[in-house]
Structure 1
Amino acid sequence: TSDFLFPFLSGLCAMSARHVRRAEAPRAEGPRVAVVGTGPAALMCVRELAKLVRSDQPKALQGARISLCTSRGKLATQMGPRNQTLPVPGKPFFDYGCQYFTACDPWFAAEVEHWASIGACQPLGEGEVGAWSPESGFRPLVGDRCWVGNGGMGPMLSRLIEQTVKEFDGIVEHVSGFPQEDWKVVSLARGGAGWELGTKGGGKLGPFDVVVGGFAQHCLTDPFLKTGDEACARMLRCLRRVESNQIIPIQVSFEGDPLPMPFTAAHVYSEEALSWICDNTKKPQQGGKLGTPGAQHLTLLSTARFAEREFNCNPKGYRRSAEEQMFAALARVLGVGSLAAHVPRVNRINHWEDGLAMKMPPDSRGCLLDVEVGLGWCGDFCVAPGVQGAALSGRAMAETLAAYLQGPSEFDARGLLPADDEWVAIDRNELKTSLVDIGAFSGRLGLRSASTHTDLVPSAVGGYNNAAHYGAAGKGKDGGSPHSGGKGKGVGKSQGKGQGKGQGKSQGKGKWRGQGYY
């Protein structure tokens, strides 16, 4: 066991078995691959690579060892923010960005059936998800299944990661940066022996022949890849081509009379501020039982146009505007004159600065790879935004690495690092999905495509910068984030402290009580 583990964990001698699952026995020496990421792209890359290793095809993967390095207790940025409260079994919960997913690709559909067989997810009942418009009211979506994680998207992926590590014991090890962030991977460097990853606690992992990233938000990729200096320069330049929309999510519970909402969720059309509403208490619990007793817990997602305008033109007051206009839209959709009798209590109003990918590489091969240094990247931006696109990209990354490791000198690298090419609109994806502000979904649902992304995003192309993070108005006077510096009204974690003094993106004390517009 030590022959397998210790080269990867130098400097982490005190790491407990809770944070790294040790293999039962050493394997023959083979390629060493590290996959960094917490979402479906990283997970499916690991799963597909491990399947190839176990099958001993191709021969170049014999004895390969794979390290999955995760950094959050929830899912990736689309699934849940870093500081969101962990779901508790049997208690109401909020899903954050990823609300549901579809599986119109045959391979992915089979994977999802496997996920369901181990209790990780299940489809909502037919007609529970629909589309709402002023002309037609609520219209159920039929023709394909709408899948959700049991207990939320976070617990779903946690279960899948745990199951993957057990299934491929001896091939896959899991280095978890949660709950002890000392094990979180924060840097990488390439030397004579290969790649070495650095952890927040000062430890080292490696060496690795190949490193793969499974996330694409500029606020994460830029600082991470900059630690790798020149070896990461080409990949960094390529990832700065990623263009995403922006979304404002609101998490709100209703403590009074139940809202007249006979469905679970709806895509909203013809409302300027609101694109999605979902009652999370109608989703299944972690044990699979449908519904959670207690107050209704809703997730509201704005349109991209509204979020991009409000945040970039009004970075200190976007929460006030979001609550006012998104709540008014919710009342119109549900036919409620006032929300006051339902006693809304805001849990969080955030700004999703890198939301859904809007452009993809031209002639995309489903992933990126710098063959000169052995640095790969995968994510839904290579296929289509959402869980299915991320999973397909992870699979493409695994297959590309398998071919690359057979003989880098003969490997066809065309199209794998399009840093200088013009990227194309992602709605041209081959899956023929319907693209809306919150993702791409099966075209069989009959969902009308409606992307409202604008050119108001300062960092749409070009990587992470202050304008992307703090809004066009820049940083607060004292160095605090204007995310929490306005005269907003939020409650608890979504309050502002005023004058740019808030801590982080969504903390503070402020005067905003979040109860003024209903």
Structure 2
Amino acid sequence: MNSIASKVAVVGSGISGAVCASTLAKNGVSVTLFDSARGPGGRMSRRREISEDGKELLFDHGAPFFSASDDDVLKIVGEWEAKGIVAEWKQSFGAFDFASKGFLNIEQEQASKRYVGVPGMNSICRALSNETGVESKFGVGVGRIEWVDDEKSWSLTSSDGQQLGHFRGVVASDKNIVSRRYTEVTGSPPPLDLSFAPQLVAKLQDIPVIPSFAVMLAFAEPLSSIPVKGISFRNSEILSWAYCDSDKPSRSSTSLFGSERWVLHSTAKYAATVIAETGLKKLSSETLTKVAEQVLSEFQSTGLEIPPPFFMKAHRWGSAFPGASIAAEERCLWFGEKKVAICGDFCVSPNVEGAILSGLAAAAKLSASLSLVHSL
């Protein structure tokens, strides 16, 4: 066998890609993880902002927490907890009804544990991408993924034309690299042409996505009028849910930063309306400011005594959540002949646990396939 016999490229360092890369490395596979972002996380990213008076403000502006019920996922989460990169968030949540202007219920006991990354949600992906056997390359967008038939391998080229290497297998944990949405945003064809696998193309065509806006807020004083740290909203056209980000385990205390930080998420309907008007291009600061003001105004209209924040910023998640599961039983898409796996929450379920399960499934497919190659 040549030097690329056990090398695999994983594109995308969200939780699905990071879990896949880490699992492959533990199975003895050499992995290179690529991501165009400056660091790992995907929708588990952590946002660093600076207020006008120079305060550093950190926000989990994607997934706020996650729960788990699958035994395999619970085992992994237990390992993460033992390493100190995950902790349970023990707080009550409630549902607020805009029609009655009151809470419908406040949890007495949590139905299931809520876990958060420590000290940020991206800490999980960061730890996984730094494990032995994983070479992580951030700030590197993959522009082309081409099959080299005489080598039976994949050649990867960066968005700016740099050769990234040859690999025996490829994992796409970002569905945009195989979807038409990539073209809509960049004007270029998707990096991975799946015409060789029409059965995968059929499943990946037009996966519905659910957009959202996240609005990050920092207040000078705690919002003492709110009896919970997480809220789901009903009968609102604008606001879907909110949570107190600074309350999570191992987050900087209010006294240290002089602030309490909240993240609000819009409804899909509101986000879709804005996107219909603006398209998928980068939004102007004026548009993002308008979104932040409208979402904050809805939050304040609850009557919960919410003062003006000293910091406010909106972020668009254009395809925040998948609207369908395309491989619920298989948990990932797999083309064994060329060792291509496609994984993500869109395969299993639109949450962190679904993404973890899909990443594990992709790693299992590749590990088994590469073990078979070595045994021949």
TM bucket by the smaller chain?
A: 0.7 to 0.9
Out of 155, 158, 164, the residue aligned to residue 205 of structure 1 is 164
- Hey, what's the Cα distance between the residues in 1 that align with 2:255 and 2:84? 16
1:72 aligns with 2:37: yes
Q: Partners of 1:292 and 1:266 in 2: how far apart?
A: 25
- Which of 214, 232, 235 is the equivalent residue of 2:173? 214
Judge conservation of contact 2:246–2:260 (CA < 8 Å) in 1: yes
> 1:477 — aligned with what?
none
Match in the other structure for 2:134? 173
Partner residue, 1:42: 17
Give the structure 2 partner of residue 351 of structure 1.
Answer: 316
Equivalent residue number for residue 159 of structure 1: 127
> 1:226·1:232 contact (CA, 8 Å) conserved in 2?
no
Structure 1 residues 119 and 214: CA distance shift in structure 2, 3 A:
same
Give me the TM-score of the superposition, normalised by structure 2. 0.80
| Pairing 1:147–2:115 present | yes
Match of 2:270 among 290, 302, 306: 306
From 250, 259, 274, the counterpart of 1:295: 259
Query: Shift of the alpha carbon at 1:367?
Result: 0.4
CA distance in 2, matches of 1:257, 1:407: 58
Partners in 1 of 2:367 and 2:193 — Cα distance?
26
Query: Could you tell me whether the CA contact under 8 Å between 2:48 and 2:56 is conserved in 1?
Result: no
Give the counterpart letter for 1:187 in structure 2: R
Contact 1:221–1:236 (8 Å) recurs in 2: no
Q: Which amino acid aligns with 2:357?
A: L
Matches within 5 A, 1:24-43: 30-43=5-18
1:281-430 paired onto structure 2 within 5 Å: 281-285=246-250, 293-313=257-277, 319=288, 322-333=291-302, 335-336=304-305, 339=306, 342-361=307-326, 364-405=329-370
Change (3 A) 1:77 1:157: closer
What do you get for the CA RMSD once the two structures are aligned?
Answer: 3.4
Shift of 1:152: 1.8
C-alpha contact 2:332 2:343 (8 A) present in aligned 1: yes
In structure 2, the CA distance between the partners of 1:246 and 1:363, relative to structure 1 (3 Å rule), is closer
SS in 2 for 1:389: helix
How much does 1:263 deviate?
Answer: 2.6
Per-residue CA distance 1:296-316 (angstroms, 9 max, x = gap) = 221110111221123314668
Q: Given that residues 195 and 201 in structure 2 are in contact (C-alpha distance below 8 angstroms), is that contact kept between their aligned partners in structure 1? A: no
Residue 195 (1) aligns with residue 154 (2): yes
User: Counterpart of 1:265?
Assistant: 230
Q: Return the offset for 1:75.
A: 4.0
Shift of 1:295: 1.4
The offset of 1:232, in angstroms, is 6.5
Contact residue 115 and residue 160 of structure 1 kept, 8 A? no
- Is the CA contact 1:267–1:276 (under 8 Å) kept in the aligned structure 2? yes
SS at match of 1:260: coil
- Residues 227 and 273 (structure 1), Cα distance of their counterparts in 2 relative to 1, 3 Å cut: closer
Structure 1 position 373, deviation (Å): 2.8
What is the rounded CA distance, in whole Å, between the counterparts of 1:86 and 1:327 in structure 2? 18
Q: 1:152 to 1:232 in 2, by over 3 A?
A: farther
What letter matches 1:174 in structure 2?
Answer: E
Percentage of matched positions with identical amino acids: 23
Alpha carbons of 1:103 and 1:228: their partners in 2 closer, same or farther (altered >3 Å)? closer
- TM-score w.r.t. the length of structure 1 is 0.60
Q: CA deviation at 1:320?
A: 6.1
CA drift at 1:195: 0.5
Q: Which structure has the larger Rg over C-alpha atoms? A: 1
Q: For structure 1, which runs of at least 5 residues remain unmatched after alignment?
A: 9-29, 54-63, 166-171, 409-518
Count of aligned pairs? 352
Could you say what secondary structure the match of 1:299 adopts? strand
**Cα deviations by residue, 1:414-456 (Å, 9 ceiling, x for unpaired):** xxxxxxxxxxxxxxxxxxxxxxxxxxxxxxxxxxxxxxxxxxx
Q: Indicate the residue corresponding to 1:465 in structure 2.
A: none
Counterpart CA distance in 2 for 1:91 and 1:74 is 18
CA distance in 1, matches of 2:91, 2:262: 20
Counterpart secondary structure, 2:361: helix
